[in-house]
Structure 1
Amino acid sequence: MGMTDVLIVGAGPVGMAGAIELHRRGASVRIVDREGARTKLSKAVGINSQTLELLEPSGLTERLLAAGIRIARANLHFDGKPLVTLNLDRADHRFNFILALPQSATEGILEAALAERGVTVERETEMVAFSRHADSVTVSLRGPSGEGEAIAGRVLGADGPRSAIRQGLGIPFTGARYEETWSLADVTLDWPYGYREVNLFLHANGALLFTVPIAPDRIRAISQTDNALALLPSGSVVRETHWQSTFHVALRQAERYQDGRCFLAGDAAHVHSPAGGRGMNLGIWDACAFASRHAAGTLDGYTAERHAIGARILAITDRMFRVARLKPGIAQSARNLVMRHVVPIPAIQRRIAPQLLGIER
């Protein structure tokens, strides 16, 4: 039985992006997932500028751009009245927009690119145990044909918030859950705002609704209340509901992202609020950084790099969420005053836009 350079557990966007980048850099890779097929759900829908930049050398960016919707404006409203418009294209970057694309489509593009490289996602294959050695990791797998073992130089856990890799390593996942029950809905509707911009509807009582186009005739609505559709603005008529769900959101981070030859990326390492659309993008950044460090022989520095970046992004998303859900009082009034009179200034927008696009310098 030969040894694979890297075994990736989890074939979502993070795991597949990592597999593509590792293969591009000359590593042998296997990728397994316990599900029988990639997701059919929209899930994560925003691809930011940095992700487009990171995936460009592999040829993925061109494919993603061809499939997605480029969004260059974000409109903020308060109690049904316009508050401010953010022009994302003021950012000095060639990808000065958010690319809206359902996760199901993103995964399809990634899996096709992997197949072209001769890498097949091994589905219905679960990691049931692993043991670490000085120069390798032995992984017990249970798949369609029964149980077997794989030997890898490194293991990358991209297996989500309940990561079996993280739990097997005994790495604490510290933080807390937000108290709200969140909801989302993917709908086709008639409404005043079209399908080319994102909208954030703030309310005096602290409720918020965020909408983003995910197809030429479909938007994603998400709220920190239990019924996102109840917050749609006046004049909205839902024609078809494609998917609805409620969920809870937590702010958690693994205390370290590596232990010996085992590493974590994506939701296995960090979870946070949807504010800013950074979740999948931060995970893909983890995976690309892992691939780069693997090729350079500098994996010892992976946690120091990624944990600090993850902590910063988690803090940003938490702050954005807390500002958006402010309830009546001085803080809410001050926020709205700044939004109306300061944020529209072109120089301010040029500073804000890169942050919203995930552009890192």
Structure 2
Amino acid sequence: MSAEVLIVGAGPVGMTAAIELLRRGVDVRLIDRSEQRTELSKAVGINVQTLELLQASGLTDRLLAAGLKIRAAHLHLDGTPLADLDLTQADHRYNFLLALPQSETERLLEARLGELGGRVERLTELTGLGQDANGVRVTLRLPGGGTETMRVRALLGADGGRSTVREALSIPFLGARYEEQWSLADISVDWPYGMDAVNLFLSRGGDVLFTVPIGPDRIRAISQTAHVLELLPSGSTVTGTHWESQFRVSLRQAERYQEGACYLAGDAAHVHSPAGGRGMNLGIWDACAFAERYSAGTLAGYSAERHPIGARILGITDRMFRITALEPGLAQSARNFVLRNIVPLKPVQRLIAPNLLGIER
């Protein structure tokens, strides 16, 4: 064996798994078919669960130093204030959401990986996979076109929603795609809403705009419509556009997270709407659970642990999306009443804030 564990995919999930294994003394190889780590902001929210999980590896303080601490959320309806959420009502030392572009998160992860003696083998792709009583036998395509065959005790697929590992294992990816065409933009903007809180702009027509600051004068704007910038509220002046994208969103989960000595984590195991900012965080949780179980010799229980947690988070994000995107009618009126009259109550906020921050008890 050239390593105990092979990790396929070197995004935040794969790098976290490698870091957690390396600090436990496990020999790891981490491969990725891309030439370099992402330069895009992609996932921008780091929640409390992730900050807790990464404390032991020494990453939490680095993330906190690099990110923006978001302590409030403001809700609007057709340009009129609807409710304010005080995230500091959560009884936790991390009573905030940390906003940080994924490009920066990956930079910090890769730096820590290197400190532990690991590295990402880039332009390296999994092309073959087989299992027997002795472990997992894989074939890799190497930079320049050569190949390598190796055997490992365990393989973790952290290679995204179109996972090569999941497909090679013939694990069904169950669920469906949302009908909406989504869009996002990272922009520099002058507007009257400040840079210290997230904002949710609802409309009686059903369109939704969500914004989160990711820099001193920069926000991420996302909508379940095709033209996010058209939903910016009056008084907004875009002074620079750094990234725009349109995309489709699915709600899917792998039927199981393991097959023999092969395992799935992150988007390879589950994908869902951006509502709640849970995607990358749930994947990092998977990665930490995998490393802990590998070290403890309890990987047989990985899927039984992680699958129900994934299903619960997928359900939360689906409900959040459907509630925010309600079309005109009785349900929308009831939602607006609750947001305007019930949510501002402090006892209610003390219940809501931990859920929004991803605090797991």
TM-score interval (norm. to shorter): over 0.9
Superposition deviation, residue 326 in structure 1: 0.5
TM-superposition CA deviations, 1:249-290 (whole Å, max 9, x none): 000000000000000000000000000000000000000000
131-140 or 263-272: bigger deviation:
131-140
Q: How does 1:128-143 map to 2 (within 5 A)?
A: 128-143=127-142
Q: What corresponds to 1:107 in structure 2?
A: 106
Q: Kindly state the Cα deviation for residue 194 of structure 1 after the two structures are TM-superposed.
A: 1.4
Aligned residues: 360
Alignment of 1:325-344 (within 5 A): 325-344=325-344
For residues 189 and 196 of structure 2, the distance between their equivalents in structure 1, rounded to whole angstroms, comes to: 14
**4+ residue stretches of structure 1 with deviation over 6 A?**
none
Match of residue 64 from structure 2? 65
Which deviations, in whole Å up to 9, do the C-alpha atoms of 1:284-317 show, x marking residues without a partner?
A: 0000000111111111111111000000000000
Q: 3-state DSSP class of the match of 2:290?
A: helix
TM-score by length of 2: 0.99
Q: How big is each residue's C-alpha offset from its partner over 1:181-210, in whole Å with a ceiling of 9 and x where there is no partner?
A: 000000001100111110000000100000
Q: CA deviation at 1:24?
A: 1.2
TM-score, scaled to structure 1: 0.99
Task: Classify the secondary structure of the residue corresponding to 1:177.
Answer: strand
Tell me which amino acid in the other structure corresponds to 1:222. Answer: I
Matches within 5 A, 1:1-361: 2-145=1-144, 146-361=146-361
Give CA-to-partner distance per residue, 1:199-235, whole Å, 9 cap, x none: 0000001000000011112100000000111000000
Whole-angstrom distance in 2 between the partners of 1:288 and 1:120: 18
Query: Would the aligned equivalents of 1:72 and 1:88 in 2 still touch at CA under 8 Å?
Result: yes
Tell me the amino acid that sits aligned with residue 284 of structure 1: I
The one-letter code sitting in structure 1 at the alignment partner of 2:276 is: G
Whole-Å separation in 2 of the counterparts to 1:135 and 1:93: 45
Deviations 1:90-139 (A, max 9, x none): 10111111100000000000000001111110000000111112121111
**Residue identity matched to 2:244:** Q
User: How many Å separate the matches in 2 of 1:299 and 1:262?
Assistant: 10
Query: 1:6, 1:280 → 2: CA distance?
Result: 22
Distance (whole Å) between structure 1 residues aligned to residue 267 and residue 189 of structure 2: 32
Tell me, in whole angstroms, the C-alpha distance in 2 between the residues paired with 1:149 and 1:71: 47
2: distance between equivalents of 1:149 and 1:94? 47
**1:187–1:241 contact (8 Å) kept in structure 2:** yes
Instruction: For residue 150 of structure 1, report the CA deviation from its aligned partner.
Output: 2.3
Any unmatched runs of 5+ in structure 2? Answer: none
SS of 2:210's equivalent? strand
What's the Cα RMSD here? 0.7
Identity of aligned residues (%): 67
Distance 2:174 2:239 in 1: 42
2:334 maps to amino acid: A
3-state SS, counterpart of residue 214 of structure 2: strand
User: Contact conserved, 1:3 with 1:153, CA < 8 A, in 2?
Assistant: no
Amino acid of the structure 2 residue aligned with 1:312: R
Structure 1: gaps (5+ residues): none
SS, match of residue 256 in structure 2: coil
Q: Could you tell me which amino acid in structure 2 is paired with residue 249 of structure 1? A: V
User: What is the identity, as a one-letter code, of the residue corresponding to 1:318?
Assistant: D
